[in-house]
Amino acid sequence: MTTQSTEEFSKVCTLDDLWPGEMEVFEVQGVKLLICHTESGTVKAVQLICPHQSFALSEGELVGEKLICTKHMWEFDVKSGCGINPTGASLALYPVKVVGEDVLVSVAGVEPKYARP
């Protein structure tokens, strides 16, 4: 099992910048990603682009722990990255650490996922 050092993580925002139920686009080391702060208080970082047809998920909706791409209504569990509809799709998850009020993200070694045509 590989562990990531603190040096690989970059501060992207604070919890005060992103309240529960909100999501926002951030850039970390040249990678654009979507930070989702679920209503239950979990902070997750996922790829910005829907794996279906490259539509920005920031244009979608965060409902509870479900991220919905409004282009074609694909749905993802933001906590696991797994597709809900369709089940075969998934999102890349970036490691997140919350240290005090700071939200830190690592993009090292994570590649976005795309559906096969």
Residue 88: CATH number of its domain: 2.102.10.10
Count up the domains in the chain and report the number: 1
Domain containing 67 equals 10-105
Q: Model confidence over 41-67: pLDDT tens digits?
A: 999 999 999 999 889 999 999 999 999
Q: Can you give the pTM of this predicted structure? A: 0.90
- Whether the per-residue pLDDT at 117 is higher than 90: the answer is no
Confidence of residue 4 (pLDDT cuts 50, 70, 90): very low
- Whether residue 36 is contained in a domain is answered as yes
In angstroms, the CA 67 to CA 75 distance is 6
Is residue 14 one of the residues assigned to a domain?
yes
Neighbouring residues of 28: CB distance < 8 A, sequence distance ≥ 6: 10, 12, 94, 105, 106, 107
Q: What is the mean pLDDT of residues 30-34?
A: 97
Q: pLDDT, tens digit, for every residue of 67-100?
A: 999 999 999 999 999 999 999 999 999 999 999 9
